[in-house]
Amino acid sequence: MIGTENSDARVRDLADVEEFARRCFQGSPGDQVGVELEFLVFDRADPARQVGVSRIIDALPPLTRGSALTFEPGGQLELSGSPAPLARAVRQVAADLDTARRALGDDGLLLAGIGLDPIRPPERQLRAPRYEAMAELLGVPYGPLMMCLSASIQVNVDLGPKPAVRWERACALGPVLNAAFANSPLTGSRPCGWMSGRQAVWLHLDPTRTRPVVWEDDPAAAWARYLMDARLMLLREKGTRRPPSPSRATFADWTRSPHLGGHPPTVRDLAYHATTVFPPVRPRGWLEVRYLDALPPRWWPACVAVTGALLLDDRAADAALAAAAPLADRWWHAARVGLGDPRVRRAAEECFRAAAPALPRLGAEPWLVADVESYAERHVVPGRSPAAEALRRAREPGAGPLAWLSEEVVA
């Protein structure tokens, strides 16, 4: 797996970084998908209260379909399924999620599928050195918001026989898909001014590690320059890691001045550095699609299905790109307005129209196709993403702290 390489060969310059970057685009030629779902966890009796990770762990039974359970720094729960064909990947995670929801519900806890915590302030629970360094590097206010209050859907896709083609699709479709599934309009019990407040947080973070990778004909060369220009987060030293000095030093600075890290950078150091940068699409021997807000349990399968279909199926991708390509660089605009812009809404409609017939070709059962069609009818065609519904509910007279919850969350 790229990102866990253990070679101590020295990295001297851009050419060495590019050699590593090319390996990031040399993964499986297949069509498997991996699903990672993050959820915010609330105490139904006291929604403003922070729920401790230990309480969540104690309430959870073993998951029988193989999903891994991990936690983000603020206590967000993440379920990560094993790679599989699209339909099976969705089924496996759905079964484990259902088990987790029932068990947590019995303990008075709620898994909420929304991209940004609408009511609680950031409070970090995990104190690993990686998170300490991340908090220091990213600063306030956006560092704590990202680390403690955000939740996403990540779709991992094999690179296929033409990695550059899937890379282009994943990047070019990003703004439209982010808008279509936007679901984070609130923070601090108030509208934040964005349909995808979670994506806005990422856009406002350190641009050397969160901006989109500039598209060009050679994605490995672009990825190598991105890694060189990104600021260092942690340096390896005698089996441990420490923050770099100066704090704004980049990996390129380290290659030119080995004393920055106390030793010349190695492939092992570069591989770790690659795990600390977070562009909307990241290559790691597969593609990580990282720009999707968390969604309620009712709707996340549609999100994964559409994203997977548009990356894996050539006919669907061609139709979707024809509509979405003019908006490929409109990350800020799409996150702010969501489907409220008619151009974005029309492009999203075309994406859904292309994805639905592709799903049977990818082995999806009728229920998954029906989920995609239902989502399009409810959210895309009228131009009202889940974020718009959450805003409406939160603004209703007498709305309580969980008013933003939709029936799809609690069903």
Structural domains in the chain, CATH included, are 27-219+277-394 (3.30.590.20)
Residue 45 in tokens: 């009796």
Dihedral angle computed from the Cα positions of residues 182, 348, 373 and 167, in that order, rounded to the nearest 10 degrees: -90
Give CA–CA dist 294/154, Å, rounded.
9
CB 385 within 8 Å of CB 181: yes
* pTM over the 0.85 mark: yes
**Enclosing H/E stretch for 78:** strand 77-80
CB 20 within 8 Å of CB 270: yes
- pLDDT of res. 409: 47
Give CA–CA dist 169/211, Å, rounded.
17
- Which residue in this structure is represented by tokens 């230990």? 54
Give CA–CA dist 161/338, Å, rounded.
33
Residue 156 in tokens: 């991992």
Angle, to 10 degrees, between the axis of helix 267-274 and the axis of helix 14-24? 60
Show the low-confidence residues of the chain (pLDDT under 70): 1-4, 237-246, 406-411
- pLDDT of res. 396: 87
CA distances (Å), origin 143, targets 72, 180, 320: 13, 25, 33
- pLDDT of res. 127: 92
CB 23 within 8 Å of CB 95: no
Coil, strand, or helix at residue 249?
A: coil
Which alpha helices (DSSP H) does 242-341 contain, by range?
A: 251-256, 267-274, 300-312, 314-324, 331-337
Determine phi and psi for 196, rounding to 5 degrees: -115, 80
pLDDT in tens, 253-304: 999 998 888 889 999 999 999 999 999 999 999 999 999 999 999 999 999 9
- pLDDT of res. 7: 87
Give CA–CA dist 287/307, Å, rounded.
12
Report strand pairing: 33-43 vs 77-80.
antiparallel
CB 213 within 8 Å of CB 226: yes
- pLDDT of res. 406: 66
- pLDDT of res. 410: 42
- pLDDT of res. 87: 95
